[in-house]
Amino acid sequence: MEHKDEHRREPVVGSVAGTGRRRLICGFGAVALGVGLAAADPVGPGGGTGRAGADGKHGDHSPGGGEGRDRGASGAPGRPAEPGTVAGRDGGEDPEVRADGARAADQRARVRFTTPEAALRELAAGNRRWRTGREQHPGEGAAVRRSLVAGQHPFAVVLGCVDSRVPPELVFDQGLGDLLTVRSAGEVLDEAVLGSIVYGVLELEAPLVVVLGHQGCGAVAAAVRADGDTRGLPAHVRYLAEQIRPAIDHGLTGQARLDAAVTAHVRRVRARLVAEPDLAPRVAAGRLAVIGARYELTSQRVVRIDGPTF
Ligand SMILES: [Zn+2]
């Protein structure tokens, strides 16, 4: 995933300082959690301390607490594991060995993906695998499914369109427990969408929100075609068109107008999220990044269009 500011592309990673101890008071059941977060974020095997410890209870609504993701245990024979993860297999191995491997992989995963920059780096790597035909389909095996019974620790929230050609888990090559995906036609916001995003950030502690538009978006196209006269649209589709309408540039025509509206709409949605009172303090503290991006159907590449440059 690369940064694109109009015609400019920049690297997607850099440095973002972490934070110290933080306290979460969440509107979902008034859950209050104290979670330690390492100030530094060394990436890779053995680096940093991540959010282990108190995090064992984090996001866990099932009895018994437990582990989060095991990205290495894909369960597919011959499938390459990511560097720094454990290549588990689903059958035949000693359960205790498997459990140890799952725990080790989970610890490394937490170290890697607890900051905005680490989360973005993983999404960029996943999209690179996707568009080059080297998908790993991580986090689908039986061991991962078992580990996720006890809780979840998604490292990013992706707000995307409902378009069947742009499923976030596929275009970012992520698995179970990795992404909290929220999808609405044209990634339009409403109270349910906003509440879902806030849930992922405040209760599940995801450090990154990606607003993901895409080339050839039908919802945006409908809004552009209607251009304010939504009488011909089904009642509930009117809402979508009206929400997208402010992104239309009347100085453009045809395909250029549609394509610009996709990008402008993502920018508007991102700006709204950054300003949300539930999210703004985390953004200001560097604990949360909200970026805009778009998926290109032709290249299968996710390109950043707005947000902080790390
Ligand atoms: Zn769409």
Cα angle 51, 54, 59 (rounded to 5 degrees) comes to: 85
CA of 197 from ligand 1 middle (Å) equals 18
pLDDT value of residue 228: 84
CA of 21 from ligand 1 middle (Å) equals 39
Q: How far apart are CA 128 and CA 171, in angstroms?
A: 9
CA of 218 from ligand 1 middle (Å) equals 5
Domain that holds residue 205: 2-306
User: Given pLDDT bands bounded at 50, 70 and 90, which one contains residue 308?
Assistant: confident
CA of 181 from ligand 1 middle (Å) equals 15
CA of 251 from ligand 1 middle (Å) equals 22
In this structure, the number of other CB atoms found within 10 A of the CB of residue 231 comes to: 6
Produce one character per residue of 53-71: b if its CB has 16 or more CB atoms within 10 Å, e if not.
eebeebbbeeeeebbbbbb
pLDDT value of residue 99: 54
In this structure, the number of other CB atoms found within 10 A of the CB of residue 150 comes to: 18
Residue 266 confidence (pLDDT) above 90: yes
The CATH number for 151's domain is 3.40.1050.10
pLDDT value of residue 307: 77
Tell me the per-residue pLDDT of 91-144, one tens digit each, with 9 for 90 and over: 344 445 445 555 545 544 544 589 999 999 999 999 999 999 999 999 999 999
CA of 262 from ligand 1 middle (Å) equals 9
Residue 182 confidence (pLDDT) above 90: yes
pLDDT value of residue 112: 59
DSSP class of 79:
P
Q: What are phi and psi of 238, to 5 degrees?
A: -55, -40
CA of 188 from ligand 1 middle (Å) equals 10
Residue 10 confidence (pLDDT) above 50: no
CA of 109 from ligand 1 middle (Å) equals 31
288 close to 198: Cβ distance less than 8 angstroms: no
Which stretch of DSSP H or E encloses residue 30?
A: none
From residue 160, how far is each of 21, 115, 138, 222 by CA, in Å? 31, 21, 20, 17
Helix (H, G, I), strand (E, B) or coil at 20: coil
Residue type at 289 in one-letter notation: A
CA of 204 from ligand 1 middle (Å) equals 26
Query: Rounded mean pLDDT of the chain?
Result: 75
Cβ contacts of residue 167 below 8 Å, gap of 6+? 160, 181
pTM metric for this prediction:
0.69
Q: Provide the number of structural domains found in the chain.
A: 1
User: Given pLDDT bands bounded at 50, 70 and 90, which one contains residue 291?
Assistant: very high
User: Given pLDDT bands bounded at 50, 70 and 90, which one contains residue 306?
Assistant: confident
User: Given pLDDT bands bounded at 50, 70 and 90, which one contains residue 1?
Assistant: low
CA of 161 from ligand 1 middle (Å) equals 5
CA of 298 from ligand 1 middle (Å) equals 14
pLDDT value of residue 299: 96
* Residues, Cβ < 5 Å to ion ligand 1: 161, 163, 217, 219
CA of 141 from ligand 1 middle (Å) equals 30
Q: How far apart are CA 94 and CA 88, in angstroms?
A: 11
